[in-house]
Amino acid sequence: MELRQLRYFLRVVELGSMGKAAQDLGIVTSALSQQISRLEGELSVRLLQRTSTGVVPTAAGLAFRQEAQLALRHTDNAVLAAQAARLSGQVTVGLAPTTGSVLAVPFLSAMKQRYPDVRVHLIESLSGNLSQMLNRRQIDLGVVFHTAGHHSWSAQAILDERLFLIIHPNQRHLLPEGHSLTLGDIANLPLVMPSASHGLRALLNAEFFREGTEANVVVEIDGLALLMDVVCSGYAATVQPGAAVVRNHNQRLVSLPLAHETLKRRNLIASLSDEELAPAGLAARIVLADVMRSLVQQSRWPGATLL
């Protein structure tokens, strides 16, 4: 027995007509009649009597109507009670600039839909800063790129991001055509990159060192928006994950994959331990992981692959 069958039955009794009830409920008469027949079959009793002017409840139908009304009233009260006690509170979430450019708005939308009473405080900062904030209990959770030495955290690896050379079209002629780019291909290319303390820069420096050369970094900028402005101006190219171009979708930049399997950045959801996280934080962590996976599956996270 389904709740909708109870609602259908009560509407038919109220209006005294299958046709009127079907129109009021927004379904075809045959479908409504089928649902009533299934209900009668399950109860092994006739609930409605067909007459020349419509339908009327039988004695069993009258008795059933009273209990059905009571059951639906209890159901409605249960819904109201659940809504009154729904999850509330505040959660503070940290995102790196590149991650936030693709993840922030979908995450906020999902939280609003699933937990409208939870207030979300988003903080955009470099991954290293987010790690420090998590250690100081200044954020509840965040997306970071490494968790080495932080054994008190709860961490879950979600995806890897491939790194790209992002360059203004006017500089494309400085690069070879017809094959994937190697670090040797871009060794002399002027680059704008974050400073050496940044995890992405450290990763790039390490790969250049293995190749026996170094990157031609002509300017250092620790901020994604300004860094991408420099790239858009044609002053220098950069090496970033694909998400870096999301905020510059109106600019005609060229993104070229680098042919180095080790040039990937792992995205992990790091949080306080389960014992320390409030219910709002636990819920937000689940939503964050769901949204990250969904964005990759929908091809809305450039260069990302799920683990």
- What are residue 118's DSSP bridge partners? 89
Q: Based on the fold, state whether residues 68 and 196 are members of the same structural domain.
A: no
pLDDT band at 77 (very low <50, low <70, confident <90, very high): confident
CATH of the domain at 206: 3.40.190.10
pTM for this entry: 0.69
Q: Based on the fold, state whether residues 149 and 285 are members of the same structural domain.
A: yes
Give pLDDT tens digits for 139-157. Answer: 999 999 887 666 678 999 9
Q: Based on the fold, state whether residues 165 and 245 are members of the same structural domain.
A: yes
Give pLDDT tens digits for 161-202. Answer: 999 999 999 988 888 876 678 898 999 999 999 998 888 888
Separation CA 292–CA 102 (nearest Å)? 9
Domain edge (last residue) among 28, 55, 84: 84
Separation CA 167–CA 171 (nearest Å)? 7
Separation CA 111–CA 177 (nearest Å)? 44
Q: Based on the fold, state whether residues 145 and 285 are members of the same structural domain.
A: yes
Q: Based on the fold, state whether residues 146 and 276 are members of the same structural domain.
A: yes
Domain edge (last residue) among 38, 69, 84: 84
Q: What angle do CA 95, 287, 290 make, to 5 degrees?
A: 95
Check residue 107 and give its pLDDT.
Answer: 98
Instruction: Tell me the three-class secondary structure of 78-139, residue by residue.
Output: HHHHHHHCCCCEEEEEEECHHHHHHHHHHHHHHHHHHCCCEEEEEEECCHHHHHHHHHCCCC
Q: Based on the fold, state whether residues 97 and 26 are members of the same structural domain.
A: no
State residue 305 phi and psi, 5-degree precision. -130, 140
Domain range enclosing 95:
89-155+271-306
Q: Based on the fold, state whether residues 95 and 37 are members of the same structural domain.
A: no
CATH of the domain at 29: 1.10.10.10
CA dihedral (142, 160, 246, 219) positive or negative = positive
Q: Based on the fold, state whether residues 171 and 212 are members of the same structural domain.
A: yes
Q: Based on the fold, state whether residues 148 and 280 are members of the same structural domain.
A: yes
Check residue 128 and give its pLDDT.
Answer: 83
DSSP 3-state assignment of 180? coil
Check residue 116 and give its pLDDT.
Answer: 92
Q: Based on the fold, state whether residues 76 and 106 are members of the same structural domain.
A: no
Mean pLDDT across 36-43: 91
Amino acid identity, position 287: V
Number of structural domains found in the chain: 3
DSSP 3-state assignment of 278? coil
Q: Based on the fold, state whether residues 235 and 279 are members of the same structural domain.
A: no
List the single range of 32-46, 237-251, 281-295 with lowest mean pLDDT: 237-251
Q: Based on the fold, state whether residues 70 and 42 are members of the same structural domain.
A: yes
* pLDDT greater than 90 at residue 270: yes
